[in-house]
Amino acid sequence: MVVGRDKASERSVRNYEPYFPVRPEFNGACYLDRYRILCQKLILERHYTSAALIWTSDS
């Protein structure tokens, strides 16, 4: 997964849960942390054997 790293992706994200509750590990996490947690869960729950998170920047 490739994510752009900037101020917006490093800010905490507000949860909006109209239909399903958000898992506790995502509360207060920024987008980069959420993608990192997702990659870890995909491997730990044996949905994937490997995952990669790469971030890019303008500088």
- Measured between alpha carbons, how far is 21 from 30 in angstroms, rounded to an integer? 17
Domain coordinates of the chain in residue numbers?
Answer: 2-56
pLDDT of 51 reads 96
Residue with tokens 């490739």: 2
In our burial notation (b when 16+ CB lie closer than 10 A, e otherwise), range 10-36 reads eeebeeeeeeeeeeeeeeebebbbbbb
Res 59: pLDDT: 60
Q: Which residues of the chain have pLDDT under 70?
A: 59
* 4: Cβ contacts below 8 Å, ≥ 6 apart: 55, 56, 57
Cα 43 from chain centre = 14
